[in-house]
Structure 1
Amino acid sequence: MSDQHTTDFGYQRVPVEEKAKRVRAVFDSVAERYDLMNDLMSFGIHRLWKRHTIELAGVRRGQRVLDLAAGTGDLAARFAGLVGPEGLVVMTDINARMLNEGRDRLLDRGRVGNVAYCLVNAEQIPFADDQFDCITIGFGLRNVTHKQKALEEMFRVLKPGGRALVLEFSHPRSKPLSKLYDLYSFNVLPTLGRLVVNDPDSYRYLAESIRVHPDQETLRAMMEAAGFERCDYFNLTGGIVAIHRGYKL
């Protein structure tokens, strides 16, 4: 099978049409304990990463925000409070179980009226051009089959003057940290997955998918190729995570 017909699923090569189905199965498996696993895996630091993303987004009252791969809605909930009743947050995910978990959480927190929910594949965003002031995708881009296509779609639906932020696992900046991170990722994460959700394979995929995701400079170049300008990135926790930001000018 030629390489153009296959894509990465962790360290495996799988048919292009199969990846979305496999990713969906991963998140079906972990949806109900997704937040617990995030806290355990990151020692709660994921909350600080998301807070920093919110600050860099600069969202204001009355604005329209698209949150792709929203999961259980951590970013969407914060944005809903910032845009106020005259604004709108569209919370999306490709996985129905994850989206339902997120919707239930936001409803429990009283986030009604200015949040809409939609099943969305980031490669085919079902909205017209120039619709949103801000677009975010948190820990979701590495699961997308055609990442460049997703970035181009984000650029298309962003308003002129708007900004997009990609919060994603990235590549540690130092060799000692990288070795320690590898040891943790390939030994501790699958063990946690087995103990908490009885699914070590999904967390082995997580570790592998991070390693094959573009590094910081490559992703910045991809955003520029999609049309974004003034692209920059911010390394967090030594580069284990990075926030990329670009503008549609």
Structure 2
Amino acid sequence: MTMVFKNTLFCTRCIKEVVPRVIRTPTFTGEVIVETYCPDCGLLLTRQVKLLKLPTRPISEVKGLYVAIEGIDGSGKTLIAGMVARRLREEGYDVVLVKEPYVKAIKEYLYNHDVDPDAEAFLFAADRIILQKEVIIPALREGKIVIGDRSLYSTMAFQGARGLPDEFLEAINRSIKYPDVVILLDLPVEIALERIDKRGRARTRFETPEFLKKVRKRFLELANAHGFYVLDATKRPEEIAERIVSIIEKELRKRR
């Protein structure tokens, strides 16, 4: 962004005082680069890096547990998330079940249009901010367990598989709360696609063998880097759900 600079600076090339042209460039690392140029010859006169004030949200006061269930399409996330939520409720826990994308209009647009990766990432981030503000953060403040069918890490895996760097994806999601616990349901892409085809609908643009192999690889890299629980998604859903419930109860005991 170009701005008007009221003071003058000395240009060593033109040998005179000039009113410089100012360009401010925000970065995704929370800074803004301020550069001044001579309006006559274009010489860079000064360059400063300043902290940029970015949006933040009060997420430190939460008392509940935020659990994300992740995995490639066809891994059984939605089925198992529902089973886990029901089982926890039967045991007396107050549970909120959420699913990303949250906003119907955003979901329909993303799944029906071939969006550029960066635009796609921004739309998912906007959807996530809305979901967290309206549902997740209020529930966590009340001490509830939130079970998320997908989270920020789906963006890291899917949009990461489309070539976007982690730094960019983390930056545009910097104001959201990360899950406290992440469960990765892992299975071979071939089995996932067999499950998808049995649903009786056409595959989405995210559900090609080549792309899902990249996404699976990204998920496993994220699991290794961030300490996810990785479960074999080829096992019976009941067995997987039981294991996740035991993980959640273990995490809750740690907080007492």
TM-score class, shorter-chain normalisation, is: 0.3 to 0.5
Give the TM-score, by structure 1 length: 0.35
Structure with the largest fraction of helix: 1
Structure exhibiting the larger radius of gyration computed from Cα positions: 2
Give the TM-score, by structure 2 length: 0.34
